[in-house]
Amino acid sequence: MDDALVAYGSGHSDGMAGLHDGERAGDPTTGADYQVGVVDGQIAAFEQALVAAIRKALDDKKSDGPGI
Q: Is 15 inside a domain boundary?
A: yes
Q: Is 23 inside a domain boundary?
A: yes
Q: Is 67 inside a domain boundary?
A: no
pLDDT of 60 reads 84
**Is pLDDT above 70 for 4?**
yes
Number of domains in the chain: 1
Q: Is 68 inside a domain boundary?
A: no
What percent of the chain is modeled with pLDDT above 70? Answer: 93
Average pLDDT, the chain: 93
| pLDDT, tens digit (0-9, with 9 covering 90-100), for 13-60 | 999 999 999 999 999 999 999 999 999 999 999 999 999 999 999 998
Domain holding 46, by residue range, is: 2-62
CB of 35 closer than 8 Å to CB of 25: yes
**Is pLDDT above 80 for 68?**
no
